[in-house]
Amino acid sequence: MAARVATSGFRRRTSPGLTLGVGAIIAGVGLMAYVVGVRSAPTPAREHHKAFVPEYDVVEVPVPERPVAPGTAVRDIRTRLEKFPTHQLPQGALRDLAAVRDHVTLVSLPGGLPVMAANLGTTDEISNPIVGRIPPGMRAMTVRVDATSAVEGWARSGSVVDVLLVEKTRTTVIAEQVKVISAERSLSPVDSGQGAGGVPNTVTLLVTQEQCLAINTAVPLGRIAFALRSQKDVEGWRETRLSSDEIRGGTKEVERERIGGVVSFGSGAEKRQYALVNGRWIPADTVPTGFFARESSRSKEER
């Protein structure tokens, strides 16, 4: 009978308390390693944005403490100093009122805003409003007019006229683009005629020094007449003088208007017509003889 050799091994036995202790140690080591790794990791640099604050040159100017009525002396205005950026200060604003203490306000002034030089004047400008309307270097002069010379009274305050000298044998343009600043002592453009039928007897013109001399020299030579023009029209006269001999076909033939065409737009009350006169399109109330008005496609569709 064969002998059985019995091999006996031994089984390592560990207690539950030891197992828990080893697990706790391992967990503690892992936690310490994580904390050390986090602390040793580089911290990203934070970007610091600097606030941009614009810098302006600031100036202190005197401003009224409260609204000021017209005709108030500057020395009687109670003011305080206010700071304004130099680039925002209006042109003409006064930075010092010492030089204009004897002036008066021509218009009402708001409180808290800079005082403008154009809104101040002398006491004469309060009693005589025309003086304040005369710019430096210009002059105001008055001429006597009638219904014909004053364009039926339409040459009123604010109008722009050309001044003509009408003699027996010729007419001459002596001043162009002259502004009417008053008619019959009225500064209002609505009611400037106090004479018969709304036609003024006198008109005050704003002229240059040269125009003032020319008009006053022309007055005793003949009759003064106005030619009313649009304020948008800044072109000069093509001819500034015309004599009776030229009209009769003498030394010079009067230039005729050369009409190159006519065009109309719209229909009914809104219909507008323009004529090509000497190379320029101008409004035309009637179609010149010998031309057919060319209608726009829009006016044809409306029909």
Is the pLDDT at 2 greater than 90, yes or no? no
Sorting pLDDT into bands at 50, 70 and 90, what band is 232?
confident
Q: What percent of the chain has pLDDT over 90?
A: 34
128-137, 150-159, 196-205, 274-283 — most confident range: 150-159
Show the beta-strand stretches assigned E in the chain. Answer: 58-64, 79-85, 104-105, 120-121, 139-144, 160-166, 170-183, 202-207, 223-229, 241-243, 259-265, 272-277, 280-283, 294-295
Give the residue with greater pLDDT, 191 vs 240: 240
- List the chain domain ranges: 58-127, 133-247, 259-302
What is the distance between the alpha carbons of residues 256 and 114, in angstroms, rounded to a whole number?
57
d(CA 119, CA 132): 10
For the stretch 12-30, pLDDT in tens is 555 555 555 656 666 666 6
Grouping H, G, I as helix, E, B as strand and the rest as coil, residue 80 is strand
User: Residue 246 phi/psi, 5° resolution?
Assistant: -70, -35
Region 195-224: mean pLDDT is: 88
Confidence of residue 215 (pLDDT cuts 50, 70, 90): very high
Q: How confident is the model at residue 282 (pLDDT cuts 50, 70, 90)?
A: confident
- Residue 267 has a pLDDT of 74
What pLDDT, on the 0 to 100 scale, is given for residue 299? Answer: 45
**In the predicted model, is pLDDT for residue 268 greater than 60?**
yes
Q: Identify which of 91-100, 128-137, 291-300 has the greatest average pLDDT.
A: 91-100
For residues 164-168, give the mean pLDDT.
94
Q: Residue 116: is its pLDDT beyond 60?
A: yes
Q: What is the pLDDT of residue 24?
A: 62
Residue 294's pLDDT band (boundaries 50, 70, 90)?
Answer: very low
* Least confidently predicted of 157-161, 224-228, 248-252: 248-252
Residues whose CB is less than 8 angstroms from the CB of residue 202 and which lie 6 or more positions away in sequence, other chains included: 142, 143, 144, 145, 183, 184, 185
Query: Taking 80 as the threshold, does the pLDDT of residue 33 lie above it?
Result: no
Class of domain 58-127 as given by CATH: alpha beta
Q: What angle do CA 94, 95, 96 make, to 5 degrees?
A: 95
47/132: higher pLDDT: 132
pTM of this structure: 0.49
Q: What is the pLDDT of residue 128?
A: 76
| pLDDT at residue number 238 | 86
Q: How confident is the model at residue 303 (pLDDT cuts 50, 70, 90)?
A: very low
Say if residue 12 is exposed, middle or buried (CB neighbours under 10 Å; 0-12, 13-18, 19+). exposed
Q: Residue range 202-217: average pLDDT?
A: 94
